Amino acid sequence: GNDQVRFELCAQALNANLKTIAPWRDLEFIEKFKGRQDLIAYAREQNIPIDATPKAPYSVDENLYHTSYESGMLEDPMTAPIPEMFKMTVDPKVAPNESESIRIHFKAGIPVQVSNLSHPQVDETDPLLLFLELNRVAGKHGIGRIDIVENRFVGIKSRGVYETPGGTLLRAAHLDLEGLCLDREVMKLRDSLSVKFAEFCYNGFWFAPEMDFVRHAIEFSQKNVTGYVDLELYKGNVTVIGRYSNVALYSADLASMDLEGGGANIEYNPSDAQGFIRINATRLKAHNLVQKRA
């Protein structure tokens, strides 16, 4: 899979003298262990503690950010995951019947504080505790599950089921705050670069020069992404219910349909749109005339 590519590309970038020993590419190893069941049996024989069992027909990888489930029964894209498989989130159907609201603060695009608006005694600023709290509260409400078929770098399609509770909340809040603070054209560039960032990361090019370029560009775009976003959590859903920034590009006066001229700070006359529309309609008129002649 992709893991072997990621690990070895990073190892080579950091220290070209390191030698990688990859059992799954060793002919003697492959001959002895045909698959997961052989590995589970060997671990039992050698008293090696592992979570996997023959009755849990899938593989699990987990870290602070998420848990992934692949292989075994999940290789059939029509087979639904069994309920007891999930480790970080409850089934949305049995999540609490009462919603919960939280506030996530960002500084230059980085989460710096999480406050629970429903339970004010919960207020975290430590980076690790902040993220653990997001994992806890999102998991409690069944938020962060996805089931997808993805394209591996090695050319194989694979089906994976993922839990990313805290990350799902951070993404929802961060994207919303960007909408408040980022310039429109910068957002377009950020959107295109985000796809490349994900591609480089997924394919193992974290230490590549192109990744350095994209990372620095995205970091620069975040310098004014400062403020907070309020989220409501309920049975697998996360909804933005409010946002604030003292460096927002959004202006209520400018957007208002009740206030003429855009307020005191920015002069805007609705009649200005007439010329704007005429200019943008010019090429549409020309295109339509050509189509009629065709």
Looking at the fold, whether 13 and 106 belong to one and the same domain comes out as no
Collapse the DSSP code of 84 into the 3-class scheme (helix H, G, I; strand E, B; otherwise coil) and give the result. Answer: helix
pLDDT tens for residues 70-81? 988 899 999 999
Looking at the fold, whether 38 and 113 belong to one and the same domain comes out as no
Does residue 262 form part of some domain? yes
Looking at the fold, whether 177 and 261 belong to one and the same domain comes out as no
> For residue 189, with 0-12 CB atoms within 10 Å meaning exposed, 13-18 middle and 19 or more buried, which class applies?
middle
Does residue 33 form part of some domain? yes
- Which residue has tokens 């409400």? 141
pLDDT recorded at residue 162: 98
Does residue 93 form part of some domain? yes
- pLDDT category of residue 176 using cuts at 50, 70 and 90: very high
Question: Residue range 141-162: average pLDDT?
Answer: 94
> Looking at the predicted structure, is the pLDDT value of residue 264 above 70?
no
> Looking at the predicted structure, is the pLDDT value of residue 59 above 60?
yes
- Choice among 129-133, 151-155, 215-219, 267-271 with the minimum mean pLDDT: 267-271
Order of strands across the sheet with 59-62? 59-62, 67-70, 157-163, 145-151
Number of domains observed in the structure of the chain = 3
The residue ranges of DSSP E strands in 108-188, in sequence order, are 110-116, 123-124, 145-151, 157-163
Looking at the fold, whether 2 and 88 belong to one and the same domain comes out as no
> Looking at the predicted structure, is the pLDDT value of residue 258 above 80?
no
Does residue 23 form part of some domain? yes
Q: Which domain holds residue 279?
A: 254-294
pLDDT recorded at residue 37: 84
pLDDT tens for residues 267-282? 777 788 899 999 999 9
Rounded Cα–Cα distance for residues 59 and 70 (Å): 5
Question: Residue range 86-96: average pLDDT?
Answer: 97
Question: Residue range 239-243: average pLDDT?
Answer: 98
Contact 207, 163 (CB under 8 A): no
The residue ranges of DSSP E strands in the chain, in sequence order, are 59-62, 67-70, 100-107, 110-116, 123-124, 145-151, 157-163, 227-234, 237-244
> For residue 74, with 0-12 CB atoms within 10 Å meaning exposed, 13-18 middle and 19 or more buried, which class applies?
buried
Rounded Cα–Cα distance for residues 234 and 260 (Å): 39
Q: Quote the radius of gyration of the chain (alpha carbons, Å).
A: 25
pLDDT recorded at residue 262: 55
Contacts of residue 147, defined as CB under 8 A and 6 or more positions apart, other chains included, come to 81, 159, 160, 161, 162
The CATH number for 78's domain is: 3.90.1260.10
